[in-house]
Amino acid sequence: MKKFPLFVTFCLTFYLSFFLTNAFSEATLVPKSELTPAKKHKDATEIITHIINSYHYRTKPIDNTLSSLIFDNFLESLDPNHSFFLNEDIQNISKYRDKLDDALLKTELEPAFDIFKTYRQRVKERIEYAVSELGKEFDFEIDEEYLFDRRELTWANDVEELNEIWRKRVKNDMLNLLLTTGKEKTEIKDTLRKRYQRIYTSTFQLDSDDVFQTFINAYTTSIEPHTSYFSPRTSENFDISMRLSLEGIGAVLRNENDYTLIQKIIPGGPADLSKKLHAKDKIIGVGQGESGEIIDVIGWRLDDVVELIRGPKDTVLRLEIIPGKTGVEDLSKILTLTRNRIKLEGSAAKAKVIDLPELDKKIGVINIPTFYVDFAAQAKGEPDFRSTSTDVQKLVTDLVKEDVEGIIIDLRGNGGGSLSEALALTGLFIEEGPIVQTKDASGKIDINVDPDPSLFYAGPLAVLVDRNSASASEIFAGAIQDYQRGIIIGEPTYGKGTVQNIVDLNRFIKNSEDDHGKLKTTIAQFFRISGGSTQNKGIIPDIVFPTAIDIEDYGERSLDNALPWDKVEPARYIKVSSPVKYYGKVRSLHKNRIKSDRAFKLLLEQLALVKKSNKKKTTSLKESKRKAERDQLLDMKHELVNELRVVQGLKPLPKRDKIQEIDEFEEEDGEDKPHDVLLQETAHILYDLIVIQDATATELQALKIEQPQAISNM
């Protein structure tokens, strides 16, 4: 390694000391002496271990095997990209690998705090080094690569190796801002200085409650991924979101490698209604008002990003994001949103009609973003309170009046909601019977049945699902499939088949003024009436679209320690007389149709482009090469979008100068947008099924369709 002259070293040390002392002096940093477990943490540990051991759906002994899992989870939660700890640190703290079980049982939490103190020291060293690198000039003509995804690698062997990792990280951050912002180098360095400062500040503001929460969640997620502990501060934020009184943008956020990632857009919120923000987008900057400074939030704690985004109703918020639909090389863009409350009407079911012009036929579509119910109106006894099932009844009635051939229930992106509404919605399409089974930790099974023993709609039915259809969506789709009431089309669903309960730990501790937080724990599992669980596997469609790529890397099946698929005895129910025996032929017609459907092929090419981009773990630090790679990716995206438009008879977009301009053009273009390829194909599949089911043997022969043999008990 090149060494600096003594004078340079002295100046650099003085500069860093001055910078860190002054830049961080305004923040309230937690002294090392205060990072110790408190009595409330010991009390909470005793209660949490008791609840999990006594009432959790899955039982795991607190032993050395579990201790090893907790150890790994704790390290990964602190340093997921293996960019702070040294290998010697891991070796030193490995003495705790088989002792964390004893720490839990004896409520002796000092090992977790010792590990965190080591981590905190390494963060300080890394930030000092990163800031020192900003004092140098970067040569962007050197052809070298930066490995930005280190999650599968071991920790650095020594300081020199870690310095090299961070040298490339700082250089990459600098190059990325040069290419995406157009700002001067001096301004970019100031932005990065503040970014690294924030990483330091965020880490040194973590108090004993934060350390305890991180450690306990390393334990709970070693049991099962949906079980988690909320510290008093996190618990308060959770309460706000559950009451839906959070005035913000209406999005579920999570941290991922220093980025704030959009995990889910909440139906009816400002983000959803704007159509500008999407799942997998990364928020990299937040600005207040129409002209407030965009604050760089890369490396920020999630709680702090949420605090910036949250604000009074009707105030303006600006977000700088990297769109997730193309990948990590996409350009950033700035969106303007107005904060508001989640509106029920924004998440309400909506209907439309799809024309099949070549057949002169119509198919109805009902899109259900979530399973909702106006609990406040229901509690007041209002007879016409809004809910998914009541809204869908009205929409079905309207569609039938328009003489549609059949109806598609579109559940793509529907992450669930009210169980009672999942039952009520299913009941609209069957006469009566069980819908889902629930098994608790004791093995007791309850059967949830159709609340209304009448049939509202008996016509042809399809259910469209994707990898984001979860929970209540899976209950509905699974019941429709089990009753053979309709055909399920799309991608294997998320696989969320468990039930959680929130426990206030303060209920168990008397005569204490301390807040001990809350525990969310898994207490039961859903099972289909056919006996199989919706957990892990999800619902496998009758016709699986070829968009179902990398499905094992998504949803419940991708989570560590997720409950496995399981089964119980089937419930007693009577299947509907449906055209299941024709599914094979309809599947064959679908495959033949998409072979020649250019729009469908283009959609798959777009997905392959995103997959290729997201699979990248390295990026070039040579400016000309980096720019060429990015431009090639964005040009390919532009060409695919344009070809899809042309195929569907729409005018092409303008020449690509900036991808932001294209996105804005598409948003303003109103009706002049490519149609939903998957929804259109679903309509064709449903109509194929209707035709085949209604055709006589002679008509089937004329259509060159063989009369299928009866299949029993499918």
In the residue annotation, 471 being an active-site residue is answered as: yes
Q: For 439-461, what is the mean pLDDT? A: 95
Per-residue model confidence (pLDDT) at position 595: 93
Closest C-alpha among 569, 480, 492, 483 to residue 535: 492
Q: For 25-50, what is the mean pLDDT? A: 89
In the residue annotation, 77 being an active-site residue is answered as: no
Residue that the structure tokens 């051939």 belong to: 405
- Residue in 83, 132, 471, 533 annotated catalytic: 471
Give the number of C-alpha atoms closer than 13 A to the C-alpha of residue 26, restricted to the C-beta side.
5
Which residue did the predictor score with more confidence, 255 or 355?
355
Rg (CA), the chain: 28
Q: Hey, where are the domains in the chain?
A: 19-223, 245-338, 344-576, 579-714
Please report the DSSP string for 55-101 in residue order.
H-SS----SHHHHHHHHHHHHHHH-TTS-S-BHHHHHHHGGGTTTHH
Residue that the structure tokens 């055209």 belong to: 579
In the residue annotation, 482 being an active-site residue is answered as: yes
| pLDDT of residue 345 exceeding 70 | no
Per-residue model confidence (pLDDT) at position 242: 38
| pLDDT of residue 246 exceeding 80 | no
Backbone angles phi, psi at 371, to 5 degrees: -95, 105
- Residue in 361, 496, 537, 585 annotated catalytic: 496
- How far is residue 227's CA from residue 2's CA, in Å, rounded to a whole number? 49
Closest C-alpha among 454, 448, 524, 453 to residue 479: 448
Q: For 608-623, what is the mean pLDDT? A: 88
- How far is residue 264's CA from residue 228's CA, in Å, rounded to a whole number? 19
- Residue in 89, 296, 450, 482 annotated catalytic: 482
CA separation (Å) from 219 to 39, 66, 226, 424, 640?
A: 19, 8, 12, 37, 46
Given its phi and psi angles, is residue 314 left (phi above 0), alpha (psi -120 to 50 degrees) or beta? left
Residue that the structure tokens 């438009």 belong to: 645
What topology does CATH give the domain 344-576?
A: 2-enoyl-CoA Hydratase; Chain A, domain 1 (3.90.226)
Q: For 48-63, what is the mean pLDDT? A: 95
Which residue did the predictor score with more confidence, 658 or 458?
458
Share of the chain above pLDDT 70, in %: 88
| pLDDT of residue 664 exceeding 50 | no
Which residue did the predictor score with more confidence, 114 or 303?
114
User: Cβ distance 283 to 333 under 8 Å?
Assistant: no
**Given CA atoms 523, 526, 532, 536 in this order, what sign does their dihedral have?**
negative
End-to-end Cα separation, the chain, in angstroms = 70
Q: For 297-311, what is the mean pLDDT? A: 83
Instruction: Label residue 649 by pLDDT band (50, 70, 90).
Output: confident
- How far is residue 568's CA from residue 234's CA, in Å, rounded to a whole number? 36
Structure tokens at 503: 């426990």
Q: For 599-627, what is the mean pLDDT? A: 89
For the chain, give me the number of helices (H) and strands (E)?
22, 19
| pLDDT of residue 456 exceeding 80 | yes
pLDDT in tens, 187-196: 999 999 999 9
- Looking at domain 245-338, which CATH architecture does it have? Roll (2.30)
Instruction: Sort strands 361-367 and 333-338 into parallel, antiparallel or unpaired.
Output: unpaired
